[in-house]
Amino acid sequence: MNDLLELMVNRRSVRKYSSEPVTEDQIKDIVTAALLSPSGHSKYPCEFIVVRDRRMLDQMTHCRVGVAKMLNNASCAIVVIADRDKSDTVIEDSAIAMMNMHLMATSLGLGSCWIQLRLRTSEDWKDSEIFIRELLNIPENYLCQAILSIGNLERMPKPHDINSLDYRKIHDEKF
Ligand SMILES: Cc1cc2nc3c(=O)[nH]c(=O)nc-3n(C[C@H](O)[C@H](O)[C@H](O)COP(=O)(O)O)c2cc1C
């Protein structure tokens, strides 16, 4: 199987991590993958906040109801933010950067998971974006679309089954 396809088969959303810390070299590779992402009109509006502080990670778990608890045992998290004043494709650019980081984490043998902020609500019923913006001091003109939680694997996740993919979703020439 092609190397990239194999990586994609093995990529899973991992929400349980061991206590072993992610190294600075690994974080460097992940943010490098983010910075290599394509960008609409080459505007490159995305910036990245790497959070390693345990107390801050614990506070960030409250950005969503229930589904951000993995930050409690993550070694670090990377928040993708994007300057709306620079580009009109901040949502697309942020999503691509998230995916590049998610795949790079997989290729480094780490577990990671997307935590959605845009259009979501925090435990104290704030907009999740606003919750994170206030916590991390992010200026208002930045979209805060998502967080990638990252940690070492506690156990190998089950890969996807390439034979169960629904190729009926692929249309030939016309719908
Ligand atoms: C846009 C988007 C938002 C997501 N938000 C969350 C989230 O807030 N919390 C979470 O635990 N997983 C989140 N996920 C992960 C999905 O639940 C996961 O990708 C899906 O269940 C498929 O599993 P897999 O990633 O292991 O293939 C999100 C994924 C995407 C693409």
CATH number, domain with residue 76: 3.40.109.10
Task: Compute the distance from residue 29 Cα to the ligand 1 centre, in Å.
Answer: 22
- Does residue 166 fall inside a structural domain? no
139 Cβ neighbours under 8 A, 6+ residues apart: none
- Does residue 8 fall inside a structural domain? yes
- Work out how many domains the chain is built from and give that number: 1
The residues pairing with 127 across neighbouring beta strands, listed in sequence order, are: 121
Closest CA to 128 of 141, 143, 113: 143
- Does residue 54 fall inside a structural domain? yes
pLDDT for the residue numbered 37: 98
Task: Compute the distance from residue 108 Cα to the ligand 1 centre, in Å.
Answer: 19
Low pLDDT (below 70) residues in the chain = none
pLDDT for the residue numbered 160: 98
Which amino acid makes up residue 98? Answer: M
> Ligand 1: residues whose CB is within 6 Å?
12-13, 15, 64, 67, 113-116
pLDDT for the residue numbered 15: 98
- Does residue 132 fall inside a structural domain? yes
- Does residue 162 fall inside a structural domain? no
pLDDT for the residue numbered 103: 98
pLDDT for the residue numbered 174: 98
Q: Using CB atoms within 10 A of its CB, is residue 105 exposed (0-12), middle (13-18) or buried (19+)?
A: buried
Verdict on whether the full-model pTM lies above 0.85: yes
- Does residue 90 fall inside a structural domain? yes
pLDDT for the residue numbered 79: 99
Task: Compute the distance from residue 111 Cα to the ligand 1 centre, in Å.
Answer: 13
Domain of residue 17, residue span = 3-155
- Does residue 137 fall inside a structural domain? yes
- Does residue 168 fall inside a structural domain? no
Task: Tell which one of 7, 9, 13 to mutate to probe ligand 1, the residue whose CB is within 8 A of the most ligand atoms.
Answer: 13
pLDDT for the residue numbered 40: 98
